Structure 1
Amino acid sequence: MTNVSVIIVTMGTKNYINSCLESIFKQTHLLFEVIVIDNSSTQSLALEINKLYPSVKVYPGAKDSFYAQALNQGIGLSRGEFILCLNDDVILDKDFIRQALSGFSVKKNIGLVSGKILRRDGKTLDSTGLFLSAWRTAKERGYGLANSGQFEQGGFIFGVNGAAAFYRKEMLEEVKDKNGYFDSRFSMFYEDLDLSWRAKKRGWLAYYIPTAVANHVRGGSFRPDSGIDKPVARRYLSDELHCGLIENRYLTILKNETFFGFFLHLIPILIYDLCAWIFVLFFQPKVIKLFFSRLFRKRF
């Protein structure tokens, strides 16, 4: 019996994926399957993984696919009642799956569960759940703070961080639309907030379990220790990815925000946008041209 499907998307970073898989196969909860979507499509990686872990199913990602599309591919292949989506630069504590599953039993309409995600040093918080900021970005609770026991109480949150996100399959099927479980139009960034927001609008709840602990090299599978959520780190993004970051935020707002909510938060939204575009103007001016050249392409 398989009640958990673990889906890992990798860009072929062998050191990360090997450590991630090792932590999965040390779990105290044993009823799981593991699906790896290899967006680098390197046959050598698949062979190496299957040599160490014969039960892991490795599939090449679709041509030119990004994170959201790869996750959709994995979810479509999954058999589990619960879906754990992982970045390849995440290491799970041995009780992570067992502890996280307990969150789904709190209420029948809990469709998303997050554990406590730490940085690789084990001392710094990466995320204890997603919240929606006034400027309509994903706010990672506890981000960058020392882990001093301040988030040891479980409770309801807005959504879950995509680095180590647990979903109820029933919820995913309900919120799925023509663009997939995750919005396949999103190249990278905001796909976790968008899905969390869509689920919330359908009446599904998200819950935080502090005893489900994972360690994450933020941006490790992209650029080690980049901290890509922070404004200064946007200089590490290519023009294409930075443009996608801007586009996906706007698309998330357009898809999910109510008319009243938009005008209630209009001032902080405008302030954030002003700062973001000034940053782009000085550090990545090519993003401006790219953004407006793509503005009227079909996105809906």
Structure 2
Amino acid sequence: MVETYIITPDYNGITFLEKYFSSLFSQTYQDFKIVFVDNSQTMASFEFIEKNYEDKLDNKIVYIKNPKNYGFAKATNRGIKKALEDSECQYIICLNNDIYAEPEFLEELIICAEKNPEAGSIQSKMIWGQHPELIDSVGIEYSKNGLGFNRGAYEPVEKYSVEEKILGCCAGACLYKRKALKDIEYNNEYFDEDFFAYYEDIDIALRLQSTGWKSVYCPNSVVYHYRGGTGGTLSSFNVYHSGRNYTYTLLKNMPPVTLLKNIHWAITAEFAQILINILRKKPVILKAKFDAYRNLFKMMEKRKNIKKINRKIENLFVLKWRPKFPKFD
């Protein structure tokens, strides 16, 4: 029986796996299992694991192969369900495959979780791997206009050195408590599988807060995130899912009074997304918004099933329109 499970979805991530696995098997805390959920169309990731960690298959690495790319949300849910089959499992760690973790990453997360019983999620300090002088994420922010942001993105790495309460976690490197996930489970899902990818961690953060769970940032738990690109070039996939899921999140989670007070900002944000992406020659944004409102009643049904214990959630919202972008010499 194992107390902590690490859930990692993979999609053609073979180039990252050497750093990922070596950092996890060098942790100061070793009472964990990895549930590796493979969305790839090839067996390259499994072949890497089999070649390098055959002795750890099953006893330390649980490998799940999906028949197609299920996206982040569904793949992660498959991993979570597998982990929760173990009655001893108390902590679920969501961890991207393009992560290199410092040796105390897990130990510090768990220490923080244990000393904050009211917290349903704990956020690691995510540093941009290609530019380690900059932060990648230290949690998430949700704006009164419905836009979501990575907290601290592109700011100097020396900042955010104090443990503190935050709105919620970036699911690239964070801990969720078993009890918290069970509290927000809906239709046998934890992450909303209708999202596929993008905004799903903002959605789960808002649901946790609404249900009364807090979130805490743990600066001593450090990872390096070797993500691709700088975020400047958006693919049609990114534009579609971000644009659609922005609206899904707004419909599901924005408290009614907050929405009424800020409806002008939300409408502005909706139209701005359409205009900006049309100018970028990304007409897929129109399909994104059509699909979002086509599923209006489905989202409203999900909204009705969110517990509303914390009615002051809007106090955690900011008003923000665009992320900071890095400046390089």
Q: Which of residues 245, 248, 261 is equivalent to 2:245? A: 248
Q: Which of residues 67, 70, 73 is equivalent to 1:68? A: 73
Q: Which of residues 192, 215, 225 is equivalent to 2:229? A: 225
TM-score by length of 1: 0.90
3-state SS of the aligned residue for 2:15?
helix
Tell me how far apart the structure 1 counterparts of residues 165 and 259 of structure 2 sit (CA, whole Å): 23
Tell me how far apart the structure 1 counterparts of residues 241 and 222 of structure 2 sit (CA, whole Å): 30
Map of 1:147-166 to 2, 5 A cutoff? 147-148=157-158, 150-166=159-175
Partner of residue 265, structure 1 = 262
Deviation of residue 269 (structure 1)?
2.0
Amino acid at match of 1:103: C
Partner of residue 23, structure 1 = 23
Quickly say closer, same or farther: Cα 1:292–1:92, change in 2 above 3 A.
closer
Partner of residue 52, structure 1 = 52
Residue ranges of structure 1 left out of the alignment (5+ in a row): 228-232
3-state SS of the aligned residue for 1:105?
helix
Q: Retained in 1: the 8 A contact 2:160–2:219?
A: yes
Map of 1:1-300 to 2, 5 A cutoff? 1-54=1-54, 55=56, 56-78=61-83, 79=86, 80-120=89-129, 121-148=131-158, 150-178=159-187, 180-217=189-226, 220=227, 224-227=228-231, 233=232, 235-238=233-236, 240-291=237-288, 294=291, 295-296=293-294, 299-300=298-299
Tell me how far apart the structure 2 counterparts of residues 180 and 296 of structure 1 sit (CA, whole Å): 21
Amino acid at match of 1:258: P
Q: Retained in 1: the 8 A contact 2:40–2:68?
A: no
Deviation of residue 21 (structure 1)?
1.3
Tell me how far apart the structure 1 counterparts of residues 68 and 243 of structure 2 sit (CA, whole Å): 23
Tell me how far apart the structure 1 counterparts of residues 67 and 230 of structure 2 sit (CA, whole Å): 26
3-state SS of the aligned residue for 1:6?
strand
Amino acid at match of 2:51: K
Tell me how far apart the structure 1 counterparts of residues 184 and 141 of structure 2 sit (CA, whole Å): 19
Deviation of residue 292 (structure 1)?
5.5
Q: Retained in 2: the 8 A contact 1:175–1:202?
A: yes
Q: Retained in 2: the 8 A contact 1:96–1:211?
A: yes
Tell me how far apart the structure 2 counterparts of residues 292 and 133 of structure 1 sit (CA, whole Å): 19
Tell me how far apart the structure 1 counterparts of residues 252 and 259 of structure 2 sit (CA, whole Å): 11
Deviation of residue 45 (structure 1)?
2.1
Quickly say closer, same or farther: Cα 1:288–1:124, change in 2 above 3 A.
closer
Of 247-256 and 259-268, the range deviating more from structure 2: 259-268
Partner of residue 230, structure 1 = none
Q: Retained in 1: the 8 A contact 2:16–2:99?
A: yes
Q: Retained in 2: the 8 A contact 1:115–1:211?
A: yes
Quickly say closer, same or farther: Cα 1:39–1:21, change in 2 above 3 A.
same
Deviation of residue 71 (structure 1)?
0.1
3-state SS of the aligned residue for 1:17?
helix
Deviation of residue 283 (structure 1)?
1.4
Deviation of residue 147 (structure 1)?
1.4
Quickly say closer, same or farther: Cα 1:27–1:288, change in 2 above 3 A.
closer
3-state SS of the aligned residue for 2:12?
coil
Amino acid at match of 1:97: L
Aligned CA-pair RMSD: 1.8
Quickly say closer, same or farther: Cα 1:66–1:273, change in 2 above 3 A.
same
Quickly say closer, same or farther: Cα 1:74–1:62, change in 2 above 3 A.
farther
